[in-house]
Each structure stands twice: as C-alpha cells, then as structure tokens.
Amino acid sequence: MSVEFGLLGEVRARAGGVAVDLGHARQRCVLAALLVEPNRPQALDVLIERVWGEGPPRQARNTLYGYLYRLRQALGEVHAGIDRTAGGYLLPVDEDSVDLHRFRQLVRSAADQDDEEALTRMESALALWRGQALGGVEGEWVESVRRTLEQERWQAVLHRNDLALRLGGHDALLAELPELAAAHPLDERLAGQLMLALYRSGRQADALGRYQEIRHRLAEELGADPGPLLRKLHQQVLAGEPVSATRAPTPRQLPSVSRLFAGRADQLARMDKALAAGDAPALAVVGAAGIGKTTLVLHWAHRAIDRFPDGQLYADLRGFDPAGPPVSPAIVLRRFLDALGVPAGSAPAEPDAQAALYRSLVAGKRMLVVLDNARDAEQVLPLLPGNGGCAVLITSRHRLTGLAAGHGFPLLDLEVLPDDDARELLARHLSEQRLREEPGAVDNLLRWCGGLPLALGLIAARATVHPDFPLAALVEELRAAEGWDAGEASTSLRAVFTASYRVLPPDAAWAFALLGIAPGPDIGLPAAAALLELPVPRVRELLRHLETVHLVRQHAPGRYRMHDLVRTYAAEPAEAEYPDDVAPALRRAIDYYAKSGLAAESVLYPYETPAVVGPAEPDPAITDEATALAWLTTEYPCLLAAQASAARRGWAPAVSRLAWALDTFQRRQGHSEDQLEVWRAALATAGEPDQRALAAWRLGAALARAGELTESARHLDDALALSRESGDVSAEANVHQALAWVHERHGDDATALHHGISALDILRGLGVPMREAHALNQAGWYAAKVGDLARAQRWCEDALEICRRHGDRDAEARTLDSLGYIAHLDGRYDDAISHYDEALARFDDVGALYDYADTLERLADSLSAAGQAERARSSWRTALSMFADQHRESDVDRLRARLGPLSR
C-alpha cells in the first residue's frame, strides 16, 4: 500500500485514501522535518532545533525519541518507516509521493516546454496546494520553511500568470488578479500583469488607474518610484501600443568592464568550449594576483551575454582581502535571492534553506553565475546552482584542486600576458602612434610591468592623465620609485604603485594613505568622512580624483574599494608618512561603525542595552527594522574588521560596543562562528569588570548553544562572579540555571543544587511564575539527589501548584516525576507509584515518550519495592523495549544487567 505525504497544506499522510494518525503538532513537525529534505539523514540535534527552536526543554532529546517511536509505529502500519543511520534519522520515500517535491518537479520541467505545455504543468503544480504550507505545525523552523515555500508558490503563480497572458488568457485571469493585487499591493510584477489584463480587455483607463494606485502606494510606504519595467508598461498603455506579457525578474549583475582588453584569444576559446550549453557548465579561472582573472571573466561574460537570457548573477567573495574576512556564502545567497525577486523578509533564515530556494529559483533557467575572488572550495559550494542550464565561472588565486577533483570543475590557469598582447593592451590605452614615437621607452615599460595587466593599467592611467608627458619620463619615475629591477611581479607592482602615489596632490595622497588602513573590504561615504574627518562633499571629490588614476573604484553607489594589492601598498605610506594621523583616523572610523551599529541593534532588540556599551544614539539613516537589517548586511564585513582592528589596538570599549552591536544580527542570521570569535575578542580585551561580565555571559551562552559545556561552564563561572559584582540579578539567575544544568551533566549534584537554589532565590522575587516553577522543580530534583528530601518535597509541591495553575502539562509531568523520585527515596512507595502513574499520563498526553520510558523504569523500581512483582516485571520489560526502540543502547545494557534473567 503506497503512502502519499502532504506538506502543501496541513501536514498529512494518506494510505489508500485513508488518513494516517500522525499525532499532535510537534510530532507532525518531526515528520515534516524529515520530508522537506527527503532521503537525507537528519541529525538528532537538527531535529530538536527544528521542533523547539533555540530554547528546547531539558528533556528534549527524550521527548524527540518518543515522537520518533510513535511515528514509526504509525507509519509501520502502512508499510512505511523511519530508519536510523549513522548520520541521523531518515524517511526513505519516493519523492513523487510527497506533494512538495511533485510541485517542484512540475515547476522545473515547465521551463523546458513551450508556453502551452508549460502552462498546463504550472496549473498542475499549483493545484497541489491545499492551503498554508505545513498547516497545523508551528515553530521558528516551520515559519522559515513556510516562508520559503510560500515564496516558491508565489513565484509559480506569477510565472503562471505570464504564461496565461502570453497565450491570450487575460479574460480568465481578471477573475483572480484583482484579489491577488489586493493581497500584494506593492508587487510590481503582479501590478504589471493586472494592468496588461485590463488593457487587453479594453479597459485602458482602469489599467492606467492601477498604475497610479501602485505609484502612490510605493511613494507613501517605501519612498520609491515604480521600476523601469512597470514605467515602460505604463507608457505603452498610455500610448495605446501593443504590449507583451511581463516576465520574471532578470538579474543583470555583471559589473562593467573596460573595453581596453587585449589578447587572451586561447583562453577565451577554452572558456567558450567549457561553458557551452550542457548540464551545469562550469570553469574556474585561477592565477596570481593582478594577472587579469576578473577582467578576463567579465570580458567573456559580456561577450557571451546572449547565451544567458534569464540573467547573470555576480558576487565578489573577497577571498584575499587584506582588510577583512572572506564573504560568507549566506550573505551572497541573500543578495542572490534579492536579485531573483525574493522580497526582504520572505527568505528563510537557515542557510541550507536559502540555498535550496536559490537552486529552485534558478532551476531550468539559462543563467550565468560569476563567483569572483573565491578563497576555497568551501566558500563556493553553497552558491553553486543544481544541475541544469546555469553556467558557473569562478576566479581564485588558489588552484581550487578540491573543487576540480571533487566536483569535476575544469581549471584555466592564467599566466602573464605575452609581450605582443601586453604591447597591444598598452596601445589600446595610449594609441599606436604614441608607442611608435618612443619605442625604447615602451620596451622598458613593458619589461617593468612584467606582463601584469594591473601594472599596465596603472601605468596607462598615469600616461593618459598627462598626455603631454613623454613615456621616458614615466620610466624615470619608475626608476626613482624602486630602482631598476624590473621583471619580478612584486617589484614591478611596487614600482608602479609608488610612481602613481608620488604624483598625487598632497590631500589626495593623504586620503589614499588613510583609506589603506580603513577596516573592511570597502568603505561608504559616511565612514570615509569619519575616517578623514572631512565633509562628505569634499570626501567625494578626493575619491573621484583617486578613481581617475585607477587607485580606487566605486563598485556600488557611494561605496569604494581598492584592489587588495593597492590597499596593502597604501597602508605603508600611512604608517611611514602620517604616523600621527593613523590612530585618530582609525578610531574615528571604528567609532562611526560602533555608533551606527548600536543604533541598528537598538532597533532590532529595543529591550536592553547594557550600561557598559553606553546608550544607543539614533541614526537618521536607520529608522526601522528594514533599514537596520539593510545597514548591518551591507556593513557586516566592515563591522567585523572594525572590531578586529580595535582588538589589535586594545581599545576595549569599542570592542565591547561592536560585539553588542552585532549580537542580535549574528544570532538571527546564524553567524554562530563569527559570534564566538566576536565575544572571545571582547573578553580578551576587556579590562573593566562590567566589560568582562558582558563578554563572559554572552560567550558562555554562545558556547552552551554550541555544546561546548566545559568551556561554557568556565566562562559562566566568570560571568556569575562578575554579574554579582555588577548587581544584575536577572542575568545572575540565568547564569545559575545554566551552570546547574552543566554541573549535573558532569555528575556534580551538590554544585548543581547550589546553583539551582541560587537561581530560585533570585527568581522568586522577579514575578515570573513559570520561571519560578522551573527553578523550584530543578532545585527540588537536585536536593533529592543529595538526600535533602524535606526541602525537595516542599519545593516540588510548590512547583506542581504553579504548573497546574498555569496549565503547563509538560512541566507538571516533570514535577510529578520528581515527586515520585522523592517519595521512593523516602520509602513511601505507594505515593511514588501514584506520582509516577500520574506523570506517565501527562507524558503520554504531550507525547514525551523518551521521558515516559525513564519514568516507567523508576515506576518499576517502586512497584518492586512495594511488593508488586508482576507489574514491576511488566513495567521493566516495557521500559527495556522502549529503550531499544529509542536506540538507547547504554540504557538497554544497564537495565538488562540489572534484571538478569527477568530481561528475557
């Protein structure tokens, strides 16, 4: 009997048309977590996070085993099952049996069909939806996946609309489009579809009215005008021209490239061959710095742009930037999703889910993805589209042999330009006539540049700015700059940089040098103004001059970067010629990042700003969550670099301020490794007690989330002492509870009790009842373990009363289990049996079968002590069976050893 699984609506399973009982919502969440990524093992920790998020209960692992046990029972009755593998739990299914994966397959296959067949497939795909995805299930992970799936559905609806309009189905669409437009009033693509349907139905005035409506909405709510496609459609409707259907967004992200390109004919031919149409065409261009990898790739991409009608995506991965770390794949994925039309806030938070959405959106499209300046294979792997028509071009200074060996990427190893090609490149900059006039000087310049396009470009820029200078004068400048030792790449470049720098006007030379020490891979105008302590208009003038001589490049509006070799050179005269300016300039830039970062953090998390970091001052550019996230996303590499720079100089207050400024953003974006490094840096530089308290607390919390208990306990101990010193009682309670859990895991019950009591003493005065109940039960459990049964009984009875008053059945079950344990230790076996029986009923209600098995074993102990041997044996055997089903091998071995012959 085949089983059909449903995720595009209420989570369900049906066998022969009959629904399978999947249990309560969290149990169905486990099934959904296994089905979203079918036939792929899911680790236990991953499942726990997907079910409970960042704050799982103490017995989450036990409870999850119970959910899996019940699901295996339910699915086993219809000949399906959940397998346990070395990598975790896996539900083996035919992907066609899961509606989500049938939907995706239909959408992918529609891309290869003519419009009529494509429309049929898109209609079939959309018909699979029964309502809200993952219906009846809640949680952080569920919401993230749900947003991803709803975005996929929305993109499918828009594509279906385009197909229907191209096939003349405007009349039928008019029955649906107005309702969709009311639900998505700012979607320009949908607005264009409605305008087109109205216009084709003879309702030109209504179509024009719809344009005015969205124009006003965009202006009022976003402060923006309609995009170029919608404006063009408006003009066509206004003029009464024939109009074709709009299509999905087509990203055009390729940077411009100089038309002054020469040579590389063999390499271009190899690129043509490697990137010819086929299944996932790809090529990695590798070679030394300054050798022209990016220029070659962009030249080829612009030349071959017609091969990729569905768009081009580009990312500079900054794998070798001296001012900061490489760009994380998660940041690039978010930018790619933006370019593919996924609105801010609609993308999933998890990097894996973002990558899956990205692959879904580009599946079946003829696109080019350029990944420039890659550090290594690990940086690019999450950014690769799946198999299909997308071509991928990668550049790197490393050979990326792992990518070549493990993923079949062909490599193109780029060398310096041959003399003839280098001369041709110089001629394209300066004219052939100028070269003929000074052949000796040209030969010397070519020798000096050593075939490096970067050096040739800088020399040519200098000669172009001063067309009346003889080329021989440039040769003399190079001699004076570094001595006559041409040919080596490093020597050649240093000579070229020095010659370019020495002829700058004094203020431009000063600005160039200080820009070389600015933290981060690039810099925006406000940060540059802070660095240089000049008004923005004057900074813009200086940067424009540096652009003219190719020493900086404006790669995005208002953002400037240097080639990393230029940046490395620029930092040298900063330290040598302006030593008194370096530290103040760097401090001003770091203070700018800290101040604006705290303004963004206070928008994302307005509930608390520790006194040690100082008050957050409003930033006029950061007014709401959207602008805060946009600013943090843009400046994230610069913020990391600024904190690292501050840490190297021992500027502890700035290090702490920047760490706090990043805290919420890093947690939301999943930058866990960066977060650990940021707080480690804060702790290493902290001097004052309040700085150390903040850093130890946040680092201990981050380590606990990462499972590093020993190191976490060490930092939490420090945080506890420092929190007491600072008088932060709520933080002290949190640290106590975390330490209690850590010490119990290490088998130190006395110390665990100490921390449990300390937390309880604080939380009794904070007025949060369920926090107090958990603390009472925690302290009662530890008291029982050390033999203080009277206090244990009193605390757990108080906890039970609070749990029942607030209707928390899970907490009630755990407290009843504690009371059973206390009664057994006290020799009150009948009371223990009563508490355990009630706890088992509550655990069954909430589906906590892992805890159920533990309590059942303790119940059997009490039954045996009370003389109920037959029921005790039955309970032990049931517990043993449950341990085995839950793959708890150590518990199975322990209980078998206890029972001996009774276990058989």
pLDDT (tens digit per residue) in 685-724 = 998 888 898 899 889 877 866 667 789 889 999 998 988 8
DSSP three-state, residue 692: helix
Band of residue 551 on the pLDDT scale cut at 50, 70, 90: confident
Residue 228 has pLDDT above 60, yes or no: no
Cα gap 484→490, rounded to integer Å: 13
Q: Which residue has the tokens 């976003």?
A: 222
| Phi/psi at 98 (5° precision) | -115, 120
- CA–CA separation, 369 and 362 (whole Å): 10
Instruction: Tell me the residue length of the chain.
Output: 904
Whole-number mean pLDDT of the chain? 85
27: helix, strand or coil = helix
Residues 6+ positions from 548 with CB-CB distance below 8 Å? 461, 465
Pick from 242, 238, 234, 236: nearest CA to 191: 234
What is the longest distance spanned by two Cα atoms in the chain? 113
Nearest to 480 by CA among 449, 503, 453: 503
The CA distance from 895 to 70, in Å, is 22
Direct distance between the N- and C-terminal alpha carbons of the chain, in angstroms, rounded to an integer? 34
What gap in Å lies between CA 428 and CA 299, rounded to an integer?
Answer: 15
864: β partners: none
b/e string for 397-418 if b means 16 or more Cβ within 10 A?
bbebeebeeeeebebbebebbe
CA–CA distance, 294 with 256 (Å, rounded to integer):
11
> Does pLDDT of 388 surpass 70?
no
pLDDT of residue 571: 85
Structure tokens at 10: 């209420």
Write out pLDDT tens, residues 455-469: 777 777 777 777 777
For the sheet with 559-561, list strands across it: 523-524, 559-561, 553-556
pLDDT score, position 345: 43
Q: Which long-range contacts (CB under 8 A, 24 or more apart) does 882-885 make?
A: 882/69, 882/849, 882/852, 882/853, 882/856, 883/853, 885/69, 885/72
Dihedral over Cα of 726, 732, 735, 741: its sign = positive
Tell me the C-alpha distance between 322 and 344, whole Å: 30
Give residue 178's identity as a one-letter amino acid code: P
Separation between Cα atoms, residue 197 and residue 164, nearest integer Å: 10
- pLDDT tens digits along 131-163: 999 999 999 889 878 887 887 888 889 989 999
DSSP symbol at 85: E
Determine contact, residues 301/372, Cβ cutoff 8 Å.
no
Asked whether this chain's domains 265-413 and 506-577 adopt the same fold, the reply is no
At position 610, the amino acid (one-letter code) is P
312/253 Cα distance (integer angstroms): 6
Mean pLDDT of 260-282: 79
Residue 557: partners with Cβ closer than 8 Å, 6 or more residues away: none
Res. 110: pLDDT tops 90: no
Pick the CATH number of 506-577 from 3.50.50.60, 3.40.250.10, 1.10.10.10, 1.10.3470.10: 1.10.10.10
C-alpha distance from residue 209 to each of 205, 214, 263 (Å) = 6, 9, 54
The CATH class of 265-413 is alpha beta
pLDDT at residue 197 in the model: 93
CA distances from 114 to 108, 155, 236, 311 (A): 13, 18, 26, 20
**Residue 178: φ, ψ to 5°:** -60, -40
User: Nearest to residue 515, comparing CAs of 582, 440, 427?
Assistant: 582
3-state helix, strand, coil in the chain (%, to 5): 65, 5, 30
For the chain, domain boundaries: 265-413, 419-502, 506-577, 586-685
Classify residue 325 as left (phi > 0), alpha (psi -120 to 50) or beta.
Answer: beta
What's the distance, CA 28 to chain centroid? 26
pLDDT score at 445: 79
More confident site: 288 or 750: 750
Please report the pLDDT score of residue 490 as a whole number. Answer: 46
DSSP E strand stretches across 249-316: 282-286, 312-316
Q: What's the pLDDT score for residue 548? A: 75
Q: Is the pLDDT of residue 38 over 50?
A: yes
Q: Which of 98-112, 275-289, 370-384, 774-788 has the lowest mean pLDDT?
A: 275-289
DSSP state at residue 393:
E
**Residue 558 DSSP symbol:** T
Distance CA 85, CA 95 (A): 19
Answer whether residue 186 shows pLDDT above 50.
yes
The model's confidence at residue 502, banded by pLDDT at 50, 70 and 90, is: confident
Per-residue confidence (pLDDT) for residue 415, from 0 to 100: 86
Task: Please tell me the predicted confidence (pLDDT) of residue 489.
Answer: 46
Token couple for 598: 């705290």
User: pLDDT at residue 559 above 70?
Assistant: yes
Per-residue pLDDT reduced to its tens digit, 809-838: 888 999 999 999 999 999 999 999 999 999
Asked whether the predicted pLDDT for residue 343 surpasses 60, the reply is: no
